[in-house]
Amino acid sequence: MNLTAQTREKIAKTFIWAAAVLVLAVLTAIIADILIKGLPVINFSFLTEIPRSMGRAGGVASPIVGTVLITLLAVTIAVPFGIGTALYLAEYTKDGIITRLIRFSAESLAGIPSIVYGLFGFIFFVIYLGLGWSILSGGLTLAFMILPTIIRTAEEAIRSVPLSFREASYSLGATKTQTIFKVVFPSAIRGITNGIILSVGRCIAETAAVMLTAGSALQLPSSILDPTRTMAVHFYILAVEGISAENAYGTAALLIILIFLINVVANMLVNRFVAKGR
C-alpha cells in the first residue's frame, strides 16, 4: 500500500495517542477496581485488629507491624552502606578498576530478580546464620535488595552538588572530610532521601523475597527474631487461597495508598531539589 506522508502521519499519531490512552486506562482500571472494592473495608478496627481465622476475619494490624519493622530494618542497614559507596564513587576516586567493579556489581544487583534474593536470604540468613524465618532475616534480605537503589540515587544526588560549593569550601580552608560532611552531604540530602523513600516503596511492595525469609506468621511479633508476614504477603495469601476477597481488597487498597503517598513525597522532594539546584 502506498500511503501519502499525511496519511502516515495521521496513522502514526493515532497509534501514539492510543497507546498513551491505553496505558492510562489500564492503570485507572487496576487502581479503581482495588480502591472501589477495598476502601469500604478499611476502618479503624481493620487497621488495629489482628487477623483471625487465617485472615477471613479481623484486620491487618500484625501485617502492618511486620511491614513497618522489616522495612525499617532493611533501610537502616542498607543506608550507611549505600551512602558510603556513593560517596566513595562520587568523591574519592577517579575511574579505575575498583570503581568499575563497584558500579558493575551495583548495577547487577539491581537486576537480580527478587526470588533470587529470596533464595539467598533463605539459605544464608535463615539456614546458615540460623536466624530462622524472622523479621531480621527478611530485613537483611531486603537490605541487600535495595542497596543498589540507594547507591544510584545517592551518587546522582552527590554528583549534582555544584562544584562551586566544594571550591568555596576548600577556599575557606576546609579539609576534604569537612567539605563532604558539612557542604556536599547537606546539599545532597534531598536526593538521598528521595532514594531512601523509593527503597521503602520497594520493600513494601516485595513479596517473593519476604515470603521465603520472614515466614507468614499472623501473630504480633514480640522480638525481631519472630516470624511475621508483610501486607503484600498477607494480600497474596488471602487472594490466591480465596480466604477472603473482601479483606484481600482492603489490604491491596492500603498498599496502593501507601505506594501513592510514597510517590507523592518522593516527587515533592525531587521537585524542590531541582528548584533549589537552579
Partner 1 sequence: MALALSSISALALITIFIIIQGAPIITEVGMFNFIFGMTWAPSQGEFGIFPMIVGSAAVTVGAVLVGVPIGICCAIFLSEFAPVSVRNFFRPAIQLLAGIPSVVYGFWGLLFIVPFIREHLGGPGLSILAASIILGIMILPTIISISEVSLLSLPRQYKEGALALGMTQWQAIRYVQLPAAKSGIVAAIVLGLGRAMGETMAVIMIVGNSVALPQSILDPVRTLTTNIGIEMGYAAGEHRQALFATGIVLFIVIMILNATAQYITRRK
Partner 2 sequence: MKFKLLGLLAILTSLLTACGGGGAYARVIVAGSTSVQPYSEILAEEFVFLNPEITIDVQGGGSSSGIRAASTGTSDIGMSSRALNEDEMDYWVVEIARDGLAIVVNPQNPIHELSFEQLQHVFTGEITNWGEVGGNDARIHLIAREEGSGTRGAFEELVMADGQFITPRAIVQSSNGSVRQLVSSDPNSIGFLSLGLVDDTVRALDLDGVAATAENVISGTYNLFRPFLYISREAPEGATAKFIDFILSPYGKAILAEEGLIP
Sites for partner 1 among residues 61-90 (CB under 8 A): 80-85, 87-89
3-state secondary structure (DSSP) of residue 226: coil
> Contacts with partner 1 in 3-62 (CB under 8 A)?
5-6, 8-9, 12-13, 15-20, 22-24, 26-27, 29-31, 33-34
Q: Which is nearer to partner 2, 7 or 53 (CB)?
A: 53
Q: 242: alpha, beta or left, given left = phi > 0 and alpha = psi -120 to 50?
A: left
Say how many residues touch partner 1, by CB under 8 A.
Answer: 82
Give the nearest distance from C-beta 118 to partner 2 in angstroms.
Answer: 14
The residues binding partner 2 (CB under 8 A) are 52-54, 129, 131-133, 136, 140, 215-219, 222-227, 240-243
C-alpha cell at 244: 477472603
Q: 266: alpha, beta or left, given left = phi > 0 and alpha = psi -120 to 50?
A: alpha
C-alpha cell at 119: 533464595
Note whether 138 binds partner 1 by CB under 8 A: no
Alpha carbon distance 94, 97 (integer Å): 10
3-state secondary structure (DSSP) of residue 131: coil
Give the nearest distance from C-beta 27 to partner 2 in angstroms.
Answer: 25
Report the candidate in 184, 159, 164 with the shortest Cα–Cα distance to residue 89: 159
> Of the candidates 36, 54, 115, 172, which one interacts with partner 1 according to CB under 8 A?
115
Give the nearest distance from C-beta 11 to partner 1 in angstroms.
Answer: 9
Q: Which is nearer to partner 2, 206 or 226 (CB)?
A: 226
Note whether 181 binds partner 1 by CB under 8 A: no
Candidates 157-165, 171-179, 188-196, 255-263: pick the segment binding partner 1 (CB under 8 A): 255-263
Alpha carbon distance 203, 67 (integer Å): 8
Separation of CA 34 from chain center:
21
Give the nearest distance from C-beta 69 to partner 1 in angstroms.
Answer: 18
Alpha carbon distance 201, 199 (integer Å): 5
Give the nearest distance from C-beta 237 to partner 1 in angstroms.
Answer: 10
